[in-house]
Amino acid sequence: MNKVFCLSIILFSISCAKIEKDYILPEKVSPDVYKVLLENDDVKVLEVTFAPGQGDNMHDHGVITFYVVKGGKLQATLPDGTVRENKAPDGFVGHRNARTTHQMKNMSNDTVKVIIVEHKNIKPIKN
């Protein structure tokens, strides 16, 4: 019984580590843009600041809720090379249930600031 329990714990730990490993964390690949304000077992809160013309590196998000503190025009590049431009107004709030992989760039003349809450215990739907 103890062997089965220990094996279950080890397999669970490996599977959790793989999920974390599969994600490209924005704060790791673009620390000049993403600052972790809070992280616990349930959420990670990120402050995202793009100077005019600044971009980040390709990264992933799971299930997120976000608030645009200071908006602007943003360009998103997807892994397949698709480019999309969006205008994010001040005060806009959004939520995404799917895993997202992208690279962002501020196309505005002003700094863009966003607060992102990544929900760790909600499994994303597949894209």
Backbone angles phi, psi at 111, to 5 degrees: -65, 140
Report the 10 Å Cβ neighbour count for 63. 19
Closest CA to 78 of 98, 53, 52: 98
Tokens of 64: 């997120």
Domains observed in the chain: 26-119 (2.60.120.10)
Residue 127 has pLDDT above 60, yes or no: no
Tokens of 18: 């793989």
Average pLDDT over every residue of 67-95 = 97
Tokens of 78: 């997807």
Whole-model pTM? Answer: 0.80
Residue 17: band (very low, low, confident or very high) from pLDDT cuts 50, 70, 90: very low
Average pLDDT over every residue of 47-61 = 98
Residue 20 has pLDDT above 80, yes or no: no
Pick from 11-15, 38-42, 63-67, 77-81: least confident: 11-15
Q: What is the pLDDT of residue 126?
A: 66
Distances (CA, A) of 67 to 1, 70, 89, 94, 112: 48, 9, 10, 7, 11
